[in-house]
Amino acid sequence: MNLDMVSPAMRAVAERLESEYSYKAVQFQPWLAKSKEDIFLQSTFHRILKEKAGATHIGENVFISTEANVFTHAFYIDDDSWIAAGVIIRGNVEIGKNSSINSFSHIAGNVKIGNGVRIAGAVAIYGFNHGHERTDIPIYQQRHTSAGIVIGDGAWIGTNAVIVDGVKIGSHSIVAGGAVVTKDVGDFQIVGGNPAKVLRDRLASGNEPAAIGA
């Protein structure tokens, strides 16, 4: 195409599209190198989270996408961790060092995530539950309960996994993609299925399945 034939207005649109693409590339892939503009936006967003989302600590070299939805009562995230675009975080959430949460995951309720944890895309972690013991009134009128969820250091949670309230995920364990975890997972265990069951022990087998879920 002869660029001389393009109107100034269309050139402005093209420049905006290129700028938006570069911006979104970092928001959805926080491991990419950051521009000065990205770093400036981070400092602003961190301040907003401290003022409005109950963030008590945002560590060094933390990246929280400005396209993430962080609407917490209390929030803590330690050094070198990142949260990608499209993530939803609500409730009281703590994230340790060098942990990552990929796009479109939803974390709600009372949730504590350890160090070096990898959470893939579209994971659901719900550290609360609807009360449902009574049958004489609707569920929505009953009190919420919250035992909380703990995810140990070095765990890997695969794509589309669901973790329900009251569950503890052991350190260095793996939750396969699509698993629905309703019971505690021990250290170094690999679980999968619905409901999730132990597939193998990482220490015992020495081999891990090839496809867990990114």
Contacts of 37 (CB under 8 A, 6+ apart): 23
Q: What is the pTM of this model?
A: 0.88
Task: Provide the residue ranges of all domains of the chain, joining segments of one domain with +.
Answer: 8-202
Give pLDDT, residue 204: 87
CA-based nearest residue to 212, from 160, 153, 172, 169: 160
Catalytic residues: 130
Per-position pLDDT tens, the chain of length 214:
565 677 878 778 888 888 899 999 999 999 999 999 999 999 999 999 999 999 999 999 999 999 999 999 999 999 999 999 999 999 999 999 999 999 999 999 999 999 999 999 999 999 998 888 889 989 998 898 889 999 999 999 999 999 999 999 999 999 999 999 999 999 999 999 999 999 999 998 555 554 455 5
Rounded Cα distance between 155 and 116, Å, is: 7
> C-alpha 111: how far from its chain's center?
11
Q: Give the per-residue pLDDT at 2.
A: 60
Spell out the CATH class of 8-202: mainly beta
pLDDT at 60: 96
Quote the pLDDT of residue 131: 86
Give the model's pLDDT for residue 210: 45
| Residues 85, 100 contacting (CB under 8 angstroms) | no
